[in-house]
Structure 1
Amino acid sequence: MEVDESFNNDENVPLSQYSRTSDDIKSMIKLAKLNEKQLTDVTQVLYYGDVESNPDLKLLELNGSLLSAIEEGQTLSFKGGLNEKVVLCTNDQTFEVKEAGISNSLLLIPELKLAQSTSKSPLKSPKNRANSSMERNQNESTGSIDDDELFDPTAERQQERRIVKKVFHEYFECREVKPKFRKLGELLQLTRYSGPENEYCIDRSLLFTFNQLLNTTQCSRREFENGLKKFRAFEFEGRMRVFDIEYEYRLLSLLLGIITENSWPIDGIDRDETLSAISETIAPAPMLQAMFDMYTFPSQQSSSSRCLYTYREEMVCRTIAQNVLQQGTKFHYNDFMDTWQNALPDGFQVQEKYLRGIGIVDRSVANVPCVRTLIEQNLTTSLIDRLRVLFKTRERWTLDEIEPYIEFFANPQLSITSILAKHARAITEKGQRIYVSKHGV
């Protein structure tokens, strides 16, 4: 055996490593039953360095969306706490990262040449550095005369040393998932704003900035911004906050009262006049401004000289409904709808669909439908436990009724109907598909 001293200075190569000679390579070609005349000029010899010295190198499979994001120069972020599954986020998508095994080992070899780039012969090299492996295969099968003329059996083959940096037996695959907002909502609820008189109760260490929450929440930036809108979050003194539901209802009632006092249509609201009509002794100006901006958008009735606003009917109706639907109470359907409608200024029209995710209509009792509260955000994050609660609350559900309580578990690869097909039983009543408990409650 010979030790090539020229490579002993390479920190990745052990001193005892053997360097192949030209005779070794020729012998191996014969053992492999290859025709040396049909091989290119350069032989790349692989040597194993200290493959365990690169534990941080991981193999990640990218789909089209992730590859495009990198090519566009986006920043990809891994997010996940100690007890959370890791996700990979682009600017607008979230992917769950899972480890998967590889049947054959994969070697990481920097500067490895591929195909005919190992040839210096113009007859064996592709024109314009393109890959012409199909043409080369045809020449190999016919035993080209040009190869025979160029081949010198006495010449030593040119060697190029290649070091294996890492051997992979597994890789990470990415699967698109829905943004995980649960943690965002829980963090915001820790410091909900319930009035300046109660601010002394707030633990200041639990107040988070926009970027702190973004780095913690397992979702992309665009999805995070949508999540803040979903939770009706606002920025106050550099920190993200949400209103306590009772305090939010009080402020909304003040704002809606101005509509009645001025007999405004709901699409002709004057912002400055609304805010100035409420004294700061009743509610702080920043809170009123945050509430107004949250519940309104520019109206089509605006002119070049005056900007008017329209209230978001669904958002207003849902907040009022949550105040009417106290926890644990049950209303007859007609009584609830009348109470709900009377709590709103003229111009607003309540609709049953506005109860999505906060209340349910139970028509299981003949001729006496009732309404009860059921807030999705308060339910468990375990699918089996949630289904148990849902079917205990009501025996029969239509798809539209149960959808807001199940969509938390759906993703682009797993639809709501697929979840119900596995964990519930579908029956048909009066031409309508109904879902009931699969194994009983």
Structure 2
Amino acid sequence: MLGGGGFSEYFSVNRPHKMEMEGVTELGVEGPYVRSLGDVNSVIRHAKLSRSDLKETSQVLYFSSEFPEYKLFECDGVLLKHLEGGGELYVRGRPTDKAVVCTRDQTYDLKSAETSNSLLLVPGLKMADEVPASGTARKVEDEVESEGVIEEKRIVGVYGEYFELKKIKPRMGRLQALLSARPYNGPENEVDVSEETADAKTYTLPGLLEEVQASEGEIRRHLDELEALEINGRWRVLDHEYQFRALSFLLNLVEGNSWPPDGVPIGETMSTLNGLVPDVILDHICRVYLQPTEDFNEDGDKLYRLHEFKICRFLGESLLKPVDKFNLDDFLTAWSSSVPAGLQTDLKQLDGLAMYDENTNPPVIWYFPETKLPEDLSERFQELFQQRRAWSLEQIAPYVASFATEKQTVNALLTKHARSANVGGRKMYSARHGK
């Protein structure tokens, strides 16, 4: 029996004995015995309590004759509000994946947990603030007692296990792997969807939602970070060489017309390049590598500026990918010469994309993209310290920043997975269990 507050809030649970199971009450509860108000008041007197000090309503619990199959989830206030507002949850991933649960915009890890106390599922059970205070009182055996009300509730489940939902960073490695398996490299190289293989296929957004363990909002944001585009209803990334060719058309046009980096007329650009690449690719290249300004030229054409960071980063990657290691000074010269006039290269533009060592003779730089590292953080640190025994914060941060959260910063991750030492007045990080 559950009442709203005080002793009677957790009063008793009636489980009938085997000898009482001949009849069934109108509630469908095994056993003929139903608690009365007199039973309730009797227990209150034995507990040396006054009925007037307790809530008026007492809720008596009975075990239902049938237990429907339910699963219990523990969720935070944000997730609870989402569900109370009619929001949906989606379980994502392949059958062999560890399950995650997603809303439209967040991803939660799903883990089973046990509790030493049994959890009872009671539909319609009232909490303390939902039960009215004590009402009128009457004289019973020289004691003042309120009349009291009994409400019967049925227990439809007893649980010693539940599921915990913990907000996590989405696992996006698979998204990039799926898109990279079939990059777009021109209409002449496209095949019909029916001819695609399981290892190299294209995906619609619903198809990606079935494969990738992340919410739709997070997937859409990561598609934008990957500079993916939708072609004929399917999400694609551009083949690097094909993207280089398309970008070269744009940069050659800018150089040929001697346009300043912040004075590229978008209308003339689009009309001139129309036909050199498909319209959807031209729109994509201009969206990624041009930024709108507030200015117009004398013909009323809106002016755009070259996106310095993205152009320099892409051209730097193009120089590094084909070679094992590059003389650092030679690379910096070639890189600076490859970008349009007015754009400045900086090694910071290659964070998470390349590593360099200024202590060798000569200094060298090589291609080392963050996207090729393991998604498991411990495995990632292990590989990073195999590549380099000691890292500065500036060097290692781009390779672990994707794991950082509001509560767990890059510094916190390094404290947990690495050890620090002061080397020549500079803080360096190395393997926690290094030899």
TM-score, with length taken from structure 2:
0.83
| 1:416 alignment partner in structure 2 | 410
Displacement after TM superposition at 1:75 (Å) = 4.1
Q: Find out whether 1:407 has 2:407 as its counterpart.
A: no
| 2:111 alignment partner in structure 1 | 98
Q: C-alpha separation between the residues in 2 aligned to 1:116 and 1:322? A: 63
1:347 aligned to which of 342, 351, 354: 342
Contact 1:177 1:412 in 2 (8 A): no
C-alpha deviations, 1:10-62, integer Å up to 9, x for none?
3xx34x464335554455445544444544444322111156x3323323222
Question: Which letter does structure 1 place at the counterpart of 2:389?
Answer: E
Displacement after TM superposition at 1:4 (Å) = 9.6
Q: C-alpha separation between the residues in 1 aligned to 2:98 and 2:49? A: 49
Q: Find out whether 1:77 has 2:90 as its counterpart.
A: yes
Displacement after TM superposition at 1:365 (Å) = 2.2
What SS class does the counterpart of residue 268 from structure 2 fall into? helix
What SS class does the counterpart of residue 191 from structure 1 fall into? coil
| 1:334 alignment partner in structure 2 | 329
Displacement after TM superposition at 1:115 (Å) = 3.5
Q: C-alpha separation between the residues in 2 aligned to 1:201 and 1:430? A: 60
Seen in structure 2, the aligned counterparts of structure 1 residues 424 and 2 have a Cα distance that, compared at 3 Å, is closer
Question: Which letter does structure 1 place at the counterpart of 2:61?
Answer: L
Q: Find out whether 1:292 has 2:297 as its counterpart.
A: no
| 1:7 alignment partner in structure 2 | 25
What SS class does the counterpart of residue 374 from structure 2 fall into? coil
Q: Find out whether 1:310 has 2:314 as its counterpart.
A: no
| 2:430 alignment partner in structure 1 | 436
Question: Which letter does structure 2 place at the counterpart of 1:382?
Answer: D
| 2:213 alignment partner in structure 1 | 218
1:172 aligned to which of 163, 166, 175: 163
Displacement after TM superposition at 1:231 (Å) = 0.8
Q: C-alpha separation between the residues in 2 aligned to 1:316 and 1:148? A: 91
2:419 aligned to which of 397, 403, 425: 425
Higher RCO (CA 8 Å, separation ≥ 6 residues): 1
Question: Which letter does structure 2 place at the counterpart of 1:295?
Answer: Y
Seen in structure 2, the aligned counterparts of structure 1 residues 222 and 120 have a Cα distance that, compared at 3 Å, is closer
C-alpha deviations, 1:187-245, integer Å up to 9, x for none?
21122101222213875473222343245433334322220111110011111111011
1:191 aligned to which of 182, 205, 210: 182
Q: C-alpha separation between the residues in 1 aligned to 2:140 and 2:251? A: 90
| 1:57 alignment partner in structure 2 | 71
Seen in structure 2, the aligned counterparts of structure 1 residues 374 and 171 have a Cα distance that, compared at 3 Å, is same
| 1:135 alignment partner in structure 2 | none
What SS class does the counterpart of residue 151 from structure 1 fall into? strand
Question: Which letter does structure 1 place at the counterpart of 2:225?
Answer: K
Root-mean-square deviation (CA, aligned residues, Å) is 3.3
Counterparts of 1:236-255 in structure 2 under 5 Å?
236-255=231-250
After TM superposition, the structure 1 stretch with the greater mean CA deviation from structure 2, 287-296 or 201-210, is 201-210
1:107 aligned to which of 117, 120, 129: 120
| 1:392 alignment partner in structure 2 | 386
Q: Find out whether 1:266 has 2:261 as its counterpart.
A: yes
Question: Which letter does structure 2 place at the counterpart of 1:407?
Answer: A
Paired positions, count: 412
Displacement after TM superposition at 1:257 (Å) = 0.7
TM-score, with length taken from structure 1:
0.82
Q: C-alpha separation between the residues in 1 aligned to 2:24 and 2:217? A: 54
**Which blocks of at least 5 consecutive residues in structure 1 are unaligned?**
125-143
Q: Find out whether 1:200 has 2:213 as its counterpart.
A: no
**When you count strand as a share of all residues, which structure comes out higher?**
2
Seen in structure 2, the aligned counterparts of structure 1 residues 401 and 60 have a Cα distance that, compared at 3 Å, is same
Seen in structure 2, the aligned counterparts of structure 1 residues 70 and 266 have a Cα distance that, compared at 3 Å, is farther
C-alpha deviations, 1:339-387, integer Å up to 9, x for none?
1111111121111111111101212326x32211101111222334333
Contact 2:139 2:145 in 1 (8 A): no
After TM superposition, the structure 1 stretch with the greater mean CA deviation from structure 2, 335-344 or 104-113, is 104-113
**Which blocks of at least 5 consecutive residues in structure 2 are unaligned?**
1-18
Using the aligned pairs only, state the percent identity: 33
After TM superposition, the structure 1 stretch with the greater mean CA deviation from structure 2, 368-377 or 103-112, is 103-112
Q: C-alpha separation between the residues in 2 aligned to 1:300 and 1:287? A: 25
| 1:129 alignment partner in structure 2 | none
C-alpha deviations, 1:73-103, integer Å up to 9, x for none?
5444343332333333344433323333334
Contact 1:2 1:19 in 2 (8 A): no
Seen in structure 2, the aligned counterparts of structure 1 residues 117 and 432 have a Cα distance that, compared at 3 Å, is closer
Q: C-alpha separation between the residues in 2 aligned to 1:242 and 1:214? A: 17
Q: C-alpha separation between the residues in 1 aligned to 2:317 and 2:257? A: 26
| 2:277 alignment partner in structure 1 | 283
| 2:102 alignment partner in structure 1 | 89
After TM superposition, the structure 1 stretch with the greater mean CA deviation from structure 2, 67-76 or 170-179, is 67-76
Where has structure 1 moved over 6 Å in runs of 4 or more? 1-4, 144-149
Displacement after TM superposition at 1:166 (Å) = 1.8
Seen in structure 2, the aligned counterparts of structure 1 residues 105 and 267 have a Cα distance that, compared at 3 Å, is same
